[in-house]
Amino acid sequence: MFSYVDSSIRESLESENLIRTLDRNGAIVNSSGDQAYISILGPVPMPRVIDGEEVTLHWFPFVRRTELSTVLDSAAGVVHGGEEAFRDLVNSSMQVNSVFAFPGFDKAEEPLVRVHSCCMTGDVAGSLRCDCGPQLDVAFETINSSGNGAVVYMAGHEGRGIGLWAKAVTYLLQDRGHDTYEANTALGLPEDSRDFSDAAFVLKFLLQGRPIKLLSNNPEKKVQLEQNGQKVSEQVSLIAGICQHNKRYLEAKKDRGHKID
C-alpha cells in the first residue's frame, strides 16, 4: 500500500488534521520529509453495537509510507536472491492496520488496549480451530465495560505473520500431528514473525506517551511495545472461546510462554 491520496484531497484532509504523517517516535512530521514513516487517517466515525449498546468508535487506519520507487528497487534485488527481504517489505507495506478507539481514548489515563493480530478464519469465518474470533469479541466487550480503550487490529499478521495461503497449508500439517508452531517451521517459515512496532508508534502518537493496560496473554507483545517506546503499566489476561477444537493450539501457545491457565 502506497499512502497515495489525490493531492487536492490530501491538502484538504491535512488542513483539517484528518491525515497526518508520523515518524518512528510517533511524532508528526512533514509528509515529504526523510522522517516520514506512517500515514494515519482519521478519526473516521464508526458506530457499532457492543453488548446491546450503540457505541461510536473512532477509526484510525494507518499504513507505512513505502513509495513505489522503493518497492521497484527491492524487486530488482529478487533476481540476486533477495526474495525474503522483498516479501517482508511488500507484506509490511501492503497492509492497512487500524485503531478502533472508544470515545475519549486520546485523553484516557492507562486505557485498556487489545493489539489483535488478524485472523480471517477466526475473526470472519468463525473457525473454532483458534480462539481469535472470541478474543476479538470479548476484547470489545471488556474495553467497553472498562470505560475506555481501543483495539489495534494488525492486518498483516495472519498465521503469526506467514500469510493466509501458508496458514491454510499449516492447518493440513496440524491435522497430521504438527502443532501450530511446528507447522510454520515445517514450511521453512518462522514460528512467529509478527512485528508490533507500528502499533507502538501509533499508540504513542494517540496517547502522547501515556501508558496502557495491555489486554493479551502474549508476553512478546508487551516486550515489543515497550521496546518501541509505548509504556505498558499492566498486562491483563484474555481467555475466550476455549473448546475441544483449539485445545492443542492453546496448549502449544502456553508451552511458548503465553499466560494461559
Band the pLDDT of 85: cuts 50, 70, 90.
low
pLDDT digits (tens, 9 = 90+) for 25-66: 999 999 888 899 999 999 999 999 999 999 999 999 999 876
Mean pLDDT confidence for 132-153? 97
| CATH code (residue 136) | 3.40.50.10990
167 within a domain of the structure (yes/no): no
* % of the chain at pLDDT higher than 70: 87
CB 38 within 8 A of CB 20: no
What pLDDT, on the 0 to 100 scale, is given for residue 34? 86
Mean pLDDT confidence for 140-163? 95
62 within a domain of the structure (yes/no): yes
pLDDT digits (tens, 9 = 90+) for 161-203: 999 999 999 999 999 999 999 999 999 999 999 999 999 999 9
What pLDDT, on the 0 to 100 scale, is given for residue 91? 54
261 within a domain of the structure (yes/no): no
What pLDDT, on the 0 to 100 scale, is given for residue 69? 47
CB 235 within 8 A of CB 216: yes
Looking at the predicted structure, is the pLDDT value of residue 78 above 90? no
What pLDDT, on the 0 to 100 scale, is given for residue 33? 86
What pLDDT, on the 0 to 100 scale, is given for residue 129? 97
137 within a domain of the structure (yes/no): yes
Band the pLDDT of 68: cuts 50, 70, 90.
very low
236 within a domain of the structure (yes/no): yes
Mean pLDDT confidence for 76-96? 59
Q: Please, what's the b/e burial string for 214-228 (b: 16 or more CB within 10 A of its CB; e: otherwise)?
A: bbbbbeebbebbeeb
What pLDDT, on the 0 to 100 scale, is given for residue 5? 72
2 within a domain of the structure (yes/no): no
CB 10 within 8 A of CB 41: no
What pLDDT, on the 0 to 100 scale, is given for residue 1? 44
187 within a domain of the structure (yes/no): no
- What does the alpha-carbon distance between residue 57 and residue 116 come to, in Å, rounded to a whole number? 16
Residues taking part in catalysis: 192, 194
* % of the chain at pLDDT higher than 90: 80
pLDDT digits (tens, 9 = 90+) for 216-242: 999 999 999 999 999 999 999 999 999
Ramachandran bin of 126, using left for φ above 0, alpha for ψ from -120 to 50, beta for the remaining angles = left
What pLDDT, on the 0 to 100 scale, is given for residue 181? 96
Q: How many structural domains compose the chain?
A: 1
Cell triple for residue 83? 526474495
Q: Please, what's the b/e burial string for 160-197 (b: 16 or more CB within 10 A of its CB; e: otherwise)?
A: bbbeeebbebbbebbeeebbbbebbeeeebebbbbbbb
CA 71 to chain centre: 22
**Can you give the residue range of the structural domain that contains 109?**
7-157+194-255
- What does the alpha-carbon distance between residue 177 and residue 179 come to, in Å, rounded to a whole number? 7
174 within a domain of the structure (yes/no): no
What integer best gives the mean pLDDT of the chain? 90
